[in-house]
Amino acid sequence: MLIKQLRLSGFKSFVEPSTLRIEPGLTGVVGPNGCGKSNLLEAIRWVMGENSPKSMRSGGMEDVIFAGTATRPPRDFAEVQLSAESDDGDELEVIRRIERGAGSAYRVNGKDVRAKDVALTFADAATGAHSPALVSQGKIAQVIAAKPQERRMMLEEAAGIAGLHVRRKDAESKLRQTETNLARLEDLMAGLD
């Protein structure tokens, strides 16, 4: 998958709608301290479904909404739009929007979807909020210090099989539910004899 464009509005320090085109090849973000470099990487993670406040360096999920400054009032919502091209050449447009008091909503190619659908789409394309392709500050040291189990998870994400774990968990929970239903049915049938 190729990320081609990012559009932010009301997200952290990006209060005005800002569009960034990402050209093929390696992309570096440079700028003075505090100008919003890490916020950009967090915007990519966030639109891909990141929900851990720690990863977003925030106390709660609504903290990603522009909080206002001495001269500008806070915003009521934050929105990030990511445009990408799949390996098959299909266009993908993902939008995540959060409103104060209303939580997050996702759209993929114009259709409302669940957070899980977005996470699976990216996991299957060997990318996503925890993708090893997104290298933030301190990440290299983390890879070196990682335990074998953690390193395996990183490799699985890089290989594009992380989505299978989510599907397996779903399938296991459906199986448990079916077993419970079956047991109830047997009880009911025994009552009819």
Cα 177 from Cα 109, distance rounded (Å): 33
Q: Which is nearer to ligand ATP, 11 or 106 (CB)?
A: 11
Question: Any known ligand binding at 38?
Answer: yes
The SS3 assignment for 109 reads: coil
Question: Any known ligand binding at 32?
Answer: yes
Cβ 144 to ligand ATP, closest distance in Å? 21
Q: Which is nearer to ligand ATP, 65 or 123 (CB)?
A: 65
Question: Any known ligand binding at 28?
Answer: no
The SS3 assignment for 40 reads: helix
Measured CA to CA in angstroms, residue 93 lies from 56, 150, 154 at distances of: 22, 30, 25
Question: Any known ligand binding at 181?
Answer: no
Please give the residue ranges that form the binding site for ligand ATP (CB under 6 A).
12-13, 31, 33-39, 63, 65-67
- Answer positive or negative: Cα dihedral of 46, 49, 51, 55: negative
Q: Which is nearer to ligand ATP, 89 or 138 (CB)?
A: 138
Which residues are documented as binding site?
A: 32-39
Which residues are documented as binding site for ATP?
A: 32-39
